[in-house]
C-alpha cells in the first residue's frame, strides 16, 4: 500500500533533484535562446573607463605658463629638495631622449593618485565620513597618467633595461610612497604638486625639440585622439599640448589638496556623517 501511495505521489510531484535539474535546463535554454519577439541586444559601444572619467571630470586647468609653488614651511623645503634630487638622475640618464624619458616617468606618475585615492577610500570607510569628491579625482589622476603612457607607447617601446628600471622603480616607489602617504598626506600632495611643475617644464622642453625638428612630429595615435578628443589630423605636438594641460591640472589639484590638509579643511578633518535626515 505504501509503495502505491509513493508511486502516485512521485507521478504527480517529481523529486527535488529532478525538479532542480529541469529548472536549470529551463534557465540555460532561456539564456541560449531568447523568447521570440523579444528584441535581441546588440553589442553596445560601451565607453571605456577613460571616457567615463573624462565626462565626469572635464578639464579644470589649461596651460598657464610654468608656475612654481614657493615653499612656506620646512616640510615644503625638504620636499622641494627631494623633487630636485629626483630630477637630477632623469636629466643625466635620458638627456634629450624625451620619448624614453616620458615613458619611464609616466609609469612613476601613475602611482601617487592610486595610492592616495585608496588610502582616503579606506579612511572614509573606517572613520565614516565623506570624501568631498577627492577620491574620484585622485583615481582620475592615476588613470590619466596611465593614458599618457599608453599614448607614448605608440611611438616607442622601452627596451629590456628600461623595463627593468620600470619594474624596480614600481616596487620601490610604490612601497615608499604608500608609507609616506600614511605618515603625511600633506607632504605627499605637495611633493606631487612640485613634481607636476617639473613635468610642465619637461613637456615644454619636449615641445621645443619637436618644433626644432629633432623629434619627428608624427601623427597622434587613435587612442589619444579618442581620449583627448583631438582632431583627426592631430600630431604628436597636439598630444603633448593636451598632456601638458593635464599636468597643469594635476599640479593645481595636488597643491590645493596639500593646502587644504595644512589648513585643516580637508576630508581628513571631516567629522563622521550624522543621521540628520532621520525624522
Task: Please give the residue ranges that form the binding site for Fe ion (CB under 5 A).
Answer: 106, 109, 145, 148, 196, 247, 250
CA distances from 189 to 79, 97, 133, 278 (A): 10, 28, 16, 37
State the cell numbers at 257. 589638496
CB closer to Fe ion out of 148 and 189: 148
CB closer to Fe ion out of 144 and 266: 144
The least CB distance from residue 104 to Fe ion, in Å, is 11
Q: Are 146 and 106 in contact (CB under 8 A)?
A: yes
State the cell numbers at 18. 529532478
- Distance, in Å, from the CA atom of 158 to the CA atom of 112, rounded to the nearest integer, reads 22
- Whose cell is 589630423? That residue is 233
The least CB distance from residue 223 to Fe ion, in Å, is 15
CB closer to Fe ion out of 80 and 251: 251
Q: Are 53 and 143 in contact (CB under 8 A)?
A: yes
- Distance, in Å, from the CA atom of 40 to the CA atom of 42, rounded to the nearest integer, reads 6
Q: Are 83 and 195 in contact (CB under 8 A)?
A: yes
The least CB distance from residue 102 to Fe ion, in Å, is 7
- Distance, in Å, from the CA atom of 89 to the CA atom of 205, rounded to the nearest integer, reads 17
The least CB distance from residue 106 to Fe ion, in Å, is 5
CB closer to Fe ion out of 147 and 261: 147
The least CB distance from residue 200 to Fe ion, in Å, is 9
CB closer to Fe ion out of 124 and 140: 140
Amino acid at each position: 500500500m505504501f509503495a502505491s501511495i509513493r508511486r502516485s505521489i512521485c507521478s504527480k510531484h517529481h523529486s527535488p533533484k529532478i525538479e532542480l535539474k529541469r529548472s536549470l535546463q529551463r534557465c540555460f535554454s532561456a539564456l541560449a535562446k531568447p523568447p521570440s519577439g523579444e528584441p535581441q541586444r546588440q553589442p553596445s559601444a560601451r565607453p571605456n573607463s577613460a571616457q567615463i572619467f573624462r565626462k565626469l571630470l572635464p578639464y579644470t586647468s589649461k596651460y598657464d605658463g610654468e608656475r612654481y609653488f614657493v615653499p612656506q614651511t620646512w616640510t615644503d623645503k625638504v620636499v622641494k629638495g627631494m623633487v630636485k634630487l629626483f630630477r637630477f638622475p632623469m636629466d643625466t640618464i635620458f638627456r634629450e631622449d624625451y620619448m624614453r624619458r616620458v615613458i619611464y616617468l609616466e609609469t612613476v606618475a601613475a602611482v601617487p593618485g592610486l595610492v592616495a585615492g585608496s588610502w582616503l577610500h579606506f579612511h572614509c570607510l573606517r572613520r565614516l565620513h565623506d570624501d568631498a569628491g577627492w577620491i574620484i579625482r585622485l583615481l582620475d589622476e592615476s588613470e590619466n597618467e596611465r593614458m599618457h603612457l599608453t599614448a607614448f607607447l605608440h611611438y616607442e617601446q622601452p627596451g629590456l633595461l628600461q623595463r627593468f628600471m620600470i619594474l624596480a622603480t614600481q616596487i620601490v616607489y610604490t612601497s615608499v610612497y604608500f608609507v609616506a602617504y600614511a605618515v603625511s598626506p600633506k607632504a605627499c600632495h605637495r611633493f606631487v604638486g612640485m613634481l607636476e611643475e617639473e613635468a610642465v617644464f619637461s613637456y615644454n622642453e619636449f615641445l621645443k625639440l619637436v618644433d626644432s625638428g629633432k623629434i619627428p612630429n608624427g601623427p597622434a595615435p587613435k587612442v589619444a585622439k579618442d581620449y583627448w578628443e583631438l582632431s583627426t589630423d592631430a600630431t604628436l605636438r597636439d598630444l603633448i599640448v593636451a598632456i601638458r594641460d593635464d599636468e597643469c591640472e594635476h599640479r593645481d589639484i595636488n597643491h590645493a589638496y596639500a593646502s587644504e590638509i595644512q589648513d585643516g579643511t580637508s576630508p581628513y578633518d571631516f567629522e563622521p556623517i550624522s543621521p540628520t535626515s532621520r525624522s
